[in-house]
Every structure is written in C-alpha cells, then in structure tokens.
Amino acid sequence: MKAVIVIVILLAVFGVTRQIMHKYDDAKREERATDRGYEPAPAGPTELPGMPASLESTFEAAKAAGVESLKGFLKQYRHAIQDPRLAEIELDYVIQVSLKSPAEARQVFRSVQQRVAPGSPLHERVRRMADTYQ
C-alpha cells in the first residue's frame, strides 16, 4: 500500500512540474517573439480601409483557424481587398507563418514593404518588423 501511495505522489509531482515547465516555456517563447519585433494583431476589427465589411467575419474565422486558413483566405479574396488593409492582413500572416516557413515570411514581407509608402498608417509597423524579416 505504501508503494502505491508513493507512486501516486510521484506522479502528481511529475504532473505539476510538467505543467509549470510548459507555462515557463510559453512565457519564454512569447518574450522571445516580443524581442524579435513581433507584435500581436489588433484585437478587434481594424479601422484601415480596403476590405468590404462582408468579408470581416470570414477574415476573423480564417485568422482564428490558423496560418493555412489565413493563407487560403488571402488567396481567395486578395482581389477584393485593397491596401492598406491588404498589407495589414499580410503582415499578420507574416507573423503567423514565420515560425513554420521563415523564407515565405520574408518573401511576403518584402512584397508588403515595397507597397507601403512612408505616409501609410502601416509604415511604422513595417519599419519595426524590417530587422526581423530582411
């Protein structure tokens, strides 16, 4: 009976330690992402013009579904979205895809960087991201 209790206690300690390590790793990963110039995407609908309101819910769903879904959204609706909103969405995509495919992230970033003029509302964001993606 003592052995069973000791095993249960050891498993509990192991489980708690594992959870703590996962939380620590997540915090470190987020800190590193912030240090590299990544920034979280805006929480709500953006004020930038260029995307029909009818596509906003589709965009939010694609963004929430992950990087592949966002890529599909861009491929399907790129013709209906204009800058600066298109550039903003592509910058969100760059951040999401950078961990999976850094080369693709750099390629998309260069494309956005060429289109964003110095007076654009996205110019500051592009400037902050430039060191990371060039």
Given 3-state DSSP classes, what are the helix, strand and coil percentages for the chain, each rounded to the nearest 5?
Answer: 75, 0, 25
pLDDT score of 45: 46
Q: Are 126 and 116 in contact (CB under 8 A)?
A: yes
Q: Residue 8: which pLDDT band, with cuts at 50, 70 and 90?
A: confident
Q: Tens of pLDDT along 76-119?
A: 988 888 888 899 999 989 988 888 888 898 999 999 999 888 88
Average pLDDT over residues 21-33: 75
Phi, psi of 12 (to 5 degrees): -65, -45
What is the rounded distance in angstroms from the CA atom of residue 30 to the CA atom of residue 130? 19
pLDDT (0 to 100) of residue 55: 85
Q: Is the pTM of this model over 0.75?
A: no
Q: What is the pLDDT of residues 30-55, one digit of tens each?
A: 776 655 555 555 544 457 888 888 88
Structure confidence at residue 28 as a pLDDT band (50, 70, 90): confident
pLDDT of residue 37: 53
